[in-house]
Amino acid sequence: MAVEQLYTKCLSEAAYFIHDNGEAAVIDPLRDIDEYLQKAEALGVKIKYIFETHFHADFVSGHRELAEKTGAPIVYGPQTKAGFPIHMAKDGEHFKIGNLTLEAIHTPGHTLESTCYLLRDASGNPEGIFTGDTLFVGDVGRPDLFSGNLSKEELAGMLYDSLETKIKTLPDHIIVYPAHGPGSACGKALGKETTSTIGEQKAANYALNAASKEAFIQEVTSGLSTPPAYFPLNAKLNQQGPEALEKVMEKANHALSIPEFKAKVAEGAWIIDTRPSGIFTEGFVPGSVSIGLDGRYAEWAGSLLPYQHPLVLVAEAGKEKESIIRLARVGLDKVVGYLEGGYEAWIAAGETPDMIIDIEADELLMDLPHDPKMAVIDVRKEGEFGDGHVRGAQNLPLASLIDPAIMANVPDDANLYVHCAGGYRSVIAASLLKREGYHNLRNILGGWGAMKDLKGLPVEKEVAKLN
């Protein structure tokens, strides 16, 4: 018996590959399915089932394409309404993988169809449980993402019942294999580990220790951040069945000459630069939005980019395909090509570049008393801002910059000093501001991490409010 967690840090997502005695199953597969096919071939096993714990909102699943390639049925839990053929498991139904058994345990609450899969060994003893977004390490799935006509309070009540009657009753030794780890927006505050045990979660997870159902509902539904803009789009894609990644790649993975690239931009395509942020600020194609592969690329792309517009890419050599695939993971399928030769080709052809000025944190400190037109733009989340920020700074969380009304709050006659926690988000924000016509920009290297301990920096704490 072997259980392998295939973890994707960019999305904080965990898929699973289980195999025994020549047969295998994949749980919650990403859209790019080559890894599962290659693993099956290398191990000499046949993928017998594709299990989905629910309709995911934070990434596009590879269930349909994997089913077409392997002939394996796609298994969802009770109450699933899908736009493609599935095997709808009954609560308690058993599925054999070699000498192993997976038992479907319907656990509505995160979504109506949410289902966990209990892994039993050859002797029928329970060994682990694949909990999807029903139970995380230190948290549970939020009940406000894909609820149909139900309120978040109604779903939270269902989740409480699922946890109390079907999860907490399991033996303490059972390993918990969740669908997400730290950083995921599918919960409020996931723990740093990506596996645990039922016993550990009974002891430490607030959601398994609520004083009452009412207290649980209050706790789980309060303090929820606004979900990323792409979540409902991805959930709908997964329910209807996304286009095969192969077809997306046929349209996207080809080089564009500079004239072809310019023509696409003139027709309305957005330019996405996937190089590291530290390289981007030194020079880029005018109008580009920086979302580097070195950060939470897919998540920020899904949160900030328009799904209705075509995209063209500027990438490091050899990173073009990766850039396209990781966009497709969150349903951004309208890539129409990448700049042949990248930014270097743009410069070699004598084309005009743009840049963003980087400054060290101590330069901000020196400029503060002498620049009456300075405006410090802090693009961290509200909670981060509230824990400490430069006195007088304006908090415009990065995700909010897709709102024209929020962008309009940025003064166009000020000298803008933009920062986040470490530097990745601030470069994205500065590139968005550049694209909107702001040019009096400074990006603060190292962000708040480099600023907070500067002697003499005026710092205050308060709850952030968007102006």
pLDDT, tens digit, 9 for 90 and up, residues 189-228: 799 999 999 999 999 999 999 999 999 999 999 988 888 8
Number of domains in the chain: 3
DSSP letters, 153-209, are: HHHHHHHHHHIIIIITTS-TTPEEEESB-TT-TTSSS--S-S-EEHHHHHHH-GGGS
Structure tokens at 72: 């394996």
Based on the fold, state whether residues 227 and 112 are members of the same structural domain.
yes
Angle between helices 297-304 and 424-435 (to 10 degrees): 30
Structure tokens at 256: 């564009």
Residue 77 lies in a domain: yes
Q: What is the pLDDT of residue 282?
A: 97
Name which of 22, 65, 54 is nearest 40 in CA terms. Answer: 22
**C-alpha torsion 338→343→347→349, nearest 10:** -20
User: Phi and psi of 256, rounded to 5°?
Assistant: -115, 130
Residue 238 lies in a domain: no
Q: Confidence band (pLDDT; 50, 70, 90) for 466?
A: very low
Q: What is the pLDDT of residue 213?
A: 97
Contact in structure between 222 and 216 (CB atoms under 8 Å): no
pTM above 0.95, yes or no: no
Q: Confidence band (pLDDT; 50, 70, 90) for 229?
A: confident
Domain's final residue, options 348, 367, 397: 348
pLDDT at 57 > cutoff 50: yes
User: What CATH code is carried by the domain that includes residue 154?
Assistant: 3.60.15.10
Write out the residue range of the structural domain in which residue 333 sits. Answer: 243-348
Q: What is the pLDDT of residue 147?
A: 66
Domain's final residue, options 348, 381, 406: 348
Based on the fold, state whether residues 79 and 159 are members of the same structural domain.
yes
Based on the fold, state whether residues 79 and 225 are members of the same structural domain.
yes
**Per-residue pLDDT reduced to its tens digit, 83-128:** 999 999 999 999 999 999 999 999 999 999 999 999 999 999 999 9
The chain-wide mean pLDDT, for the chain, equals 95
Residue 306 lies in a domain: yes
Contact in structure between 103 and 151 (CB atoms under 8 Å): no
Residue 71 lies in a domain: yes
Which residues have C-beta within 8 Å of that of residue 165, sequence separation ≥ 6?
none
Q: How far apart are CA 422 and CA 361, in angstroms?
A: 11
pLDDT at 175 > cutoff 60: yes
**Polymer length in residues for the chain:** 467
Q: What is the pLDDT of residue 464?
A: 45
DSSP letters, 349-414, are: TTPPPB--EEE-HHHHHHHTTT-TTEEEEE-S-HHHHHT-EETT-EE--GGGGGSHHHHTTS-TTS
Look at the block and give the residue holding tokens 């290398």: 42
Domain's final residue, options 188, 209, 233: 233
Angle between helices 152-162 and 213-221 (to 10 degrees): 130
Based on the fold, state whether residues 264 and 371 are members of the same structural domain.
no
Q: What is the pLDDT of residue 463?
A: 55
Report percent pLDDT > 70 for the chain. Answer: 99
Q: What is the pLDDT of residue 367?
A: 92
Using DSSP's 3-state secondary structure scheme, residue 216 falls into helix
Residue 344 lies in a domain: yes
Question: Is beta strand 289-290 parallel, antiparallel or unpaired with respect to 270-273?
Answer: parallel
Q: How far apart are CA 74 and CA 53, in angstroms?
A: 11
Based on the fold, state whether residues 140 and 40 are members of the same structural domain.
yes
Q: How far apart are CA 107 and CA 284, in angstroms?
A: 49
Based on the fold, state whether residues 262 and 224 are members of the same structural domain.
no
Based on the fold, state whether residues 329 and 380 are members of the same structural domain.
no
Cα 259 to the center of its chain, rounded Å: 34
Q: How far apart are CA 54 and CA 158, in angstroms?
A: 15
Q: Which residues pair with 106 in a beta bridge?
A: 115
Based on the fold, state whether residues 145 and 76 are members of the same structural domain.
yes
User: What CATH code is carried by the domain that includes residue 294?
Assistant: 3.40.250.10
Q: Which residues pair with 7 in a beta bridge?
A: 14
Based on the fold, state whether residues 216 and 283 are members of the same structural domain.
no
Q: Within the chain, what is the greatest distance between any pair of CA atoms? A: 75
Q: Confidence band (pLDDT; 50, 70, 90) for 328?
A: very high
Based on the fold, state whether residues 153 and 302 are members of the same structural domain.
no
Q: What is the pLDDT of residue 3?
A: 97
Based on the fold, state whether residues 327 and 394 are members of the same structural domain.
no
Cα 86 to the center of its chain, rounded Å: 26
Based on the fold, state whether residues 226 and 272 are members of the same structural domain.
no
Helix, strand, coil percent values for the chain (each to nearest 5): 30, 25, 45
User: Which amino acid is residue 30, in one-letter code?
Assistant: L
Q: Confidence band (pLDDT; 50, 70, 90) for 467?
A: very low
Structure tokens at 359: 């400054």
pLDDT at 1 > cutoff 80: no
